[in-house]
Amino acid sequence: MTRRKLITLLGSLIAAPVAHPFVARADRTRRIGLLINLRSDDPEGQNRLMAFVQALHQKFGWTEGSNIHIDLRWASDDADLSRRYAEELVALAPDVLLASGTQTVVALQKVTRSVPIVFVNATDPVGAGLVSSMARPGGNTTGFVAFEYSISGKWLELLRKLAPQTTRVAVLRDPALASNIGLFAAIQSAASFSSGVELSVIDSHDVNEIERGLAVFGHEPNGAIITTASPSMGANRKLVISLLRRYRLPDIYPFRYYPTDGGLASYGPDTAEQFKRAAEYVDRILKGAKPSELPVQAPTKYELVLNLKAAKAIGLEIPSSLLTTADEVIE
């Protein structure tokens, strides 16, 4: 995305001045580098960007083109792009970097151990080596995790409530990600307490593998799918959802943008809210706070989102108990 397009996109958010007498105005424009692991034309990526910039402006008085300068890169699900853009952003001498997803944080840390990094939607940052601990991150990095591994047990529980006839559950995952291995282990643990469920995996090294795996799994009855969180799943979500509708498979996901795009259900954090929270850490760092002193935080709320149209497409009637407790129902 060009800088002109960025300013146009954000113009509606900063049309009116906001007075923040408590903001320490810098003598120079502060520079923020953003590395987002989605495509520039992905609506979910635009929602995250808007949430972040809006919070910076409305809550903390930082305005693009006035006292901050935003350098933005969209890395999609591309490790090579993440590495290249990480080098570009660090070369621009930012005051702070914001990274979406574990892969982008790793790329930035390989380039700099001094520029502050705030991450959003990372999973198991301690296990991945991003920080020393949740309470005391150490180094130049801190941020907000997407969820803990235990949430994947809730995905299995909700899936069985949505489709009680389910006897086979496949976990669609990216085996290259340590977090996906950890999430699967948690699902295995939950399945051991759930009688009558046969658990398997569909690895997603590429699109062809996803198509083959779902075709084989979908030809047997009483199956359902759990999709774990990964850049590849996010980038290919419309393909995955269309295949699951073809094979009439109940499905659950970690984020609401999946049922928004036609998936059956999701249970996870509000990603836009996570970016709003990240704006607070960026603000504090711009005022002098050190990332090592800012604890890594988990989501404060998980949301259940249901898609009635998707349920109807596979002949599924969602139990009223779930409809009444859902945070959002898409019709």
Q: What is the set of domains in the chain, with CATH numbers?
A: 3-146+270-293 (3.40.50.2300), 151-268+303-330 (3.40.50.2300)
Contact 97, 115 (CB under 8 A): yes
The list of the chain residues with pLDDT below 50 reads 1-3, 7, 11-26
* Helix 102-111 and helix 79-91, axial crossing angle in degrees, nearest 10: 50
For residue 65, count other CB atoms closer than 10 A to its CB.
14
Cα–Cα dist 40/310, whole Å: 27
Distance CA 21, CA 285 (A): 18
- Rounded Cα distance between 77 and 84, Å, is 13
Half-sphere exposure of 266 (CA within 13 A, CB side): 26
Beta bridge partners of 68: 30, 64
**DSSP code, position 254:** S
Q: Which pLDDT score is estimated for 6? A: 52
138, 144 contact by CB (below 8 A)? no
- The per-residue pLDDT for 9 is 53
Phi and psi (nearest 5°) for 51?
-60, -40
Secondary-structure breakdown of the chain: helix, strand, coil percentages, each rounded to the nearest 5? 40, 20, 40
Distance CA 212, CA 284 (A): 48
Residue 202 near residue 172 (C-beta atoms within 8 A): yes
Q: Which amino acid is at 156?
A: L
User: What's the distance, CA 141 to chain centroid?
Assistant: 18
Dihedral in degrees, nearest 10, Cα atoms 47, 265, 304, 45:
-10
CA distance 160 to 165: 8
**Which amino acid type is present at position 186?**
A
Instruction: Write down the pTM of the prediction.
Output: 0.86
Contact 68, 31 (CB under 8 A): yes
**Residue 97 to residue 33: CA distance in whole angstroms:** 5
